[in-house]
């Protein structure tokens, strides 16, 4: 058994959320960059571990493989509760955390699965890009719903308590519809993202994954 967590990911992808979580746990961890969209040896290794060919894929110290960022977050919280990735058992904010964690993963995340490559899902359609346009509008509505649930007083999504939801916000505000849209329509989420990016433990990680951590 090796004593290190090994994260397979790609720069700026959802694996950045898990990388940030690992950083906060204090566990020793390593990283393998994967070009998962091309026919490469890295992708072949990824497919052996995760047949979906997706990141994040995390190899635990006992060589067990974990996928799905929400599941990984919950496991890391179980092993490192001091990182405060999840409200503690019995906390008043725990139901809200779980609801919106699953909302991100079950409602917002799939819009990228289908919207990033519409031709893959509509191979015989003359204008598959229309799917991307429709999905983008839907994604914006989902973000508005999510933002409306954020604490009005802050500084974090749940209020005074930091959680992994803030890591999701910080990473996903870099994705479409883009930071300019978030700044205009969801300023509370941009404020959370900027606080996360400025955390001493995470500042270098965000600079490494995104060319600019602010507009």
Tell me the CATH number for domain 5-83. 3.40.30.10
- CATH of the domain spanning 94-209, picked from 1.20.1050.10, 1.10.150.170, 3.40.50.300, 3.20.20.70: 1.20.1050.10
Average pLDDT, the chain: 91
- Separation of alpha carbons 193 and 179, rounded Å: 10
Q: How many other C-beta atoms lie within 10 A of the C-beta of residue 160?
A: 10
- In this structure, what token pair is assigned to residue 20? 């940030």
CA-wise closest residue to 149 among 109, 195, 101, 194: 101
- pLDDT tens-digit profile of 99-122? 999 999 999 999 997 745 655 655
Ranges under pLDDT 70 in the chain:
1-2, 36-38, 115-131, 212-215
Does 94-209 match 5-83 at the fold level?
Answer: no
What pLDDT is stored for residue 211 in this prediction?
Answer: 81
What pLDDT is stored for residue 1 in this prediction?
Answer: 40
Residue with tokens 């992808």: 13
Q: Specify the DSSP element, H or E, that contains 12.
A: none
- pLDDT tens-digit profile of 141-173? 999 999 999 999 999 999 999 999 999 999 999
Tell me if the bond preceding 56 is cis, omega within 30° of 0: yes
Strands (E), the chain: 5-9, 29-33, 57-59, 65-67
All residues at 6 or more sequence positions from 202 whose CB lies less than 8 Å from its CB, including other chains: 20, 23, 24, 170, 196
Q: Where are the domains of the chain?
A: 5-83, 94-209
What pLDDT is stored for residue 133 in this prediction?
Answer: 76
Residues 203 and 17: beta-carbon distance below 8 Å: no
CA-wise closest residue to 150 among 200, 115, 185: 185
All residues at 6 or more sequence positions from 79 whose CB lies less than 8 Å from its CB, including other chains: 25, 27
- Separation of alpha carbons 143 and 168, rounded Å: 12
């Amino acid at each position: 058994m090796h004593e290190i967590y090994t994260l397979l990911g790609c720069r700026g992808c959802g694996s950045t959320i898990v990388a940030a979580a690992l950083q906060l746990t204090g566990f020793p961890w390593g990283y393998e960059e994967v070009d998962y969209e091309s026919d490469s040896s890295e992708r072949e290794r990824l497919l052996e571990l995760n047949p979906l060919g997706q990141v994040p894929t995390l190899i635990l110290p006992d060589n067990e493989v974990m996928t799905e960022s929400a599941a990984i977050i919950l496991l890391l919280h179980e092993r490192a509760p001091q990182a405060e990735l999840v409200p503690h058992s019995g906390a008043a904010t725990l139901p809200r955390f779980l609801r919106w964690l699953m909302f991100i993963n079950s409602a917002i995340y799939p819009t990228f699965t289908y919207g990033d490559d519409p031709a893959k899902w509509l191979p015989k359609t003359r204008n598959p890009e229309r799917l991307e346009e429709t999905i983008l509008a839907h994604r914006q509505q989902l973000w508005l719903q999510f933002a409306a649930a954020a604490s009005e007083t802050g500084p974090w999504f749940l209020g005074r308590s930091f959680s992994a939801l803030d890591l999701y916000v910080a990473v996903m505000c870099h994705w479409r519809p883009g930071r300019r849209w978030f700044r205009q329509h969801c300023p509370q989420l941009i404020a959370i993202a900027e606080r996360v990016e400025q955390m001493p433990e995470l500042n270098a990680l965000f600079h490494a994954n995104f060319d600019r951590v602010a507009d």
